[in-house]
Amino acid sequence: MRSCTKSLITGILMLAGSVAYGSDYLLYSPDKQIEVKIQSNTQLTWSVSYHQQAVLAPSVIALAFTNGMQCGVNGKVLKEQRHSVNEVIEAAVPVKSRWIANQYNEVKLLFDKKYAIVFRAYDNGVAYRFETAFGEGEVEVAKEDADFVFTGNNRVLWSDEKDTGFQSHFESLYIDSMVAAYGSDKHAALPFYTQSSSGVSMIVSESDLYDYPNLFLFGTGTNRLTAGFPRVIQQQRRVADRRYQITQLAPYIAKTKATRTYPWRLLTIADNDKALLESNLTYQLSSPSVIKDASWIKPGKVAWDWWNANNIYGVPFASGINTETYKYYVDFASAYHLEYVILDEGWSRTTVDVLHSNAQLDIHELIRYATTKNVGIILWTLWNPLDSALHETLDTFAAWGVKGIKVDFMARADQYMVNYYERVAKAAADRKLLVDLHGAYKPVGLNRKYPNVLSYEGVRGLENDKWSDEITPKHDVTLPFTRMVAGPMDFTPGAMINSNKRNFHISFTEPMSQGTRAHQVAMYVVYESPLQMLADNPSNYLRDSACTRFIAQMPVTWDTTIALHGKAGEYVAVARKHGDNWYIGAMTNWTARSLTIPLTFLENGQWQMQALKDGVNANNHAADYTIENATVTVGASITIELSSGGGWSAVLTKKTL
C-alpha cells in the first residue's frame, strides 16, 4: 500500500508561551461546513455544528488512571498546534474505493499534565483522540468519559446488546427508537446511528483501536449517551469449548503503555442517510499498512458450507463433512471461477484440535485437488485453540497449503481480545494467510494496518435464517447505514430458496431467506466484503446456472462507490466501479417501490446493461426473477421496479465500436 500518492501539508501553526486556562478553540472542516468547539475549562468538552446548526451539544471527554492522574480535568493548555492535510490514500484492498481523498484540518492541544488532545475535522465528520507522554512503564486506565449529547430527541438505530459483561457475538438486531427512549439499562455496540430532526445523519464509531477495549454506548433516558468499556479479565473458567465464565475483573479497563496514542472517537456527519454509504472515515483514521508487499493478498468469492449444512444432493455418495463432499464444493467453485472454499466447523478432529482433520476428511488430498482446480482452501477454527498454539497452528496450515483462516466465537471486546486480533493478523500475514473474523466486533481499522484481514462478521447475518425469522428485508436495508459504515461486513448472502412474508419457515438444513431472489443477488453489489460468501448449497446453484453466473461475475473490491438512493430501514441503491465496468445494486424493505437511477456516472459512449430484477410474479413466488439486456448511455435515467422485499442489480459494460 502507498499511504500517500500526493500530499499537501499546509498551515502549520504553533502557539506557545502563555498558559491558556478556560479557553475556547475552534476547528473547521476544509469546506467550512463543520465547526468544532473545544472548551478547556475545569472539564474538557467538545461540541459540533453542521451548516451552522448545532448537532452535538457540549460533551465531556476525559481519561482517569488508577494512580490518580487525569486527562481532561483541570488541565491548562500550554501549546496549540494546527495543521492541514490534503492527500490521497491508495487502499491495498479497496473495500469501497481504491483512491480515498484524505483531507482534514487538525488542532492539537498540549496540556500541562503531559497529555494532549487531538481533533480532526473532515468534510464528513469529526474525530478526537488523547495522547499521553507519561514516560516509561505502564499505567492502568480506570475509566474513560466519552459523552455524546445530541441537541434534540434524535432518532437512533442501536444494536441491542444484552450481556452486561460485554460478552457478545455482536449480532444484535438494530432497534429503531428515539434517543430519549434509550434508557440507562440499555447499551449498544458501535457503530451507533442517529438522525436529527432536520435530517442530519450521524454515526458514532471508533478507529485505530489497539491495546485498549471497545467503546460501548449507554443510554440515559435523555439526549445524552455515555461510554462504557469491558474491564480487564483477571480470572475466567471455561464452561464449553467456546464459552467462558468470567469470575474476576480488574478495577481498570486497560493496562497499557504510559506513553501512547489512544483510539479515535469518531462522529461521521452527513446531509442524509445516502451520504453515509460513501464514508471511509474509519479507514482514513487507522494506521497505515505494515505489509510492504500486499500483492499476495487475493480477495475473492467463497463457496461456503455451513449455512447449507453440507446438504448437497444428486450425487453418488453420502453428503457430509467428508472428502467427496468438499471435492464437490471445489468443482462448483472452479466451474464458476470462485476463488475459495471454506471448511467451517466440523472439518477438524474436534473443535479444539484443529491440527488434524476428522476421520472422513483427507485434508491433504482435498488441498491437493483444490490446487489443481485453482481453488484455495480456507479453514475455520475456534479462537481459543488458536490462541494457545498460534504459531504452531498457522505454521501447520501454511505447510498444508491453506490460503486463510476463519477465526470464530471470540465474543469479547476487552483489551486482551483487541490485542488477540492484532496478534492473529500479524502471525497470519507473516505466513501469507488471509483472515476472516467471525463472532467478532466491528471493524476499527485493523484491515488497513493488516490488509490480509479481509472481512468481519459482527452482524446479524443470513445464518440466522436457520433458526429465526428476524432477518427481514427491513433489517437488510438497515445494515448499509449502520454496521457497514464501519467497514467490511461478512453477511454471507446468496440464498437460492426465497420467501415472502406469508411462506417463510425455519429449516436448519434447507434454509431460506426472506425477500426475493433479486434482493439476495443485489447484496453482492450493495454489501461490502472482500471475502464474499456464496452461502447456499452448490446443488441449488447448479440448478439455476443463469442466476449463479450472474452472481459469480460480481467483483468483491471496488475502485469507486457512488451512493444513489438511501434511507435507513427503507431502501438503498449504489453504483460501483471495478476496472472498466460499472455495477448497480438496489434493495427495498417489504414496501414495493420505484427508483429512478440517473446514469450520470457513466463515461461517454454506449453501454451494454445486463440486469437481474424481480420477476412479474415475485410478490407471490419470491424466487421469480428475470435477466434483461439493454443499451444505455451517459446522462440517461432508468426507472427500476422493486417488488415487496425486492432487489435489482446490473452489470454495465462499455460497448466497443
Residues 6 or more apart from 195 whose CB is under 8 A from it? Answer: 154, 155, 156, 201, 202, 273, 568
Please report, for residues 55, 87, 130, 561, the alpha-carbon distance to residue 127 in angstroms, rounded to integers and kept in the order given: 14, 18, 11, 23
**Angle (CA) 321 322 325, round 5°:** 90
Q: Is 147 a catalytic residue?
A: no
E strands along 308-452, which residues? 340-343, 376-382, 404-408, 434-437
- Which position among 305, 463, 476, 528 bears the catalytic label? 463
Phi-psi domain of 635 (left: phi exceeds 0; alpha: psi -120 through 50; beta: other)? left
Dist. CA 191–CA 202, nearest whole Å? 10
Q: Got the DSSP string for 29-79?
A: -TTS-EEEEEEESSBEEEEEEETTEEEEEEEEEEEEETTS-EESBS--EEE
C-alpha cell belonging to residue 87: 492527500
- Strands 24-28 and 34-40 come out as antiparallel
| C-alpha neighbours within 13 Å on the C-beta side of residue 575 | 14
How far apart, in whole angstroms, are the C-alpha atoms of residue 452 and residue 291?
A: 9
Question: Per the residue annotation, which of 339, 408, 414, 476 is the catalytic one?
Answer: 408
Active site residue 408: yes
Q: How far apart are CA 301 and CA 336, in angstroms?
A: 10
- Using a 10 angstrom Cβ sphere, with 0-12 exposed, 13-18 middle and 19 or more buried, the burial of residue 185 is exposed
Rg of the chain taking only CA atoms, in angstroms: 25
3-class DSSP assignment, residue 240: coil
Catalytic machinery residues: 408, 463
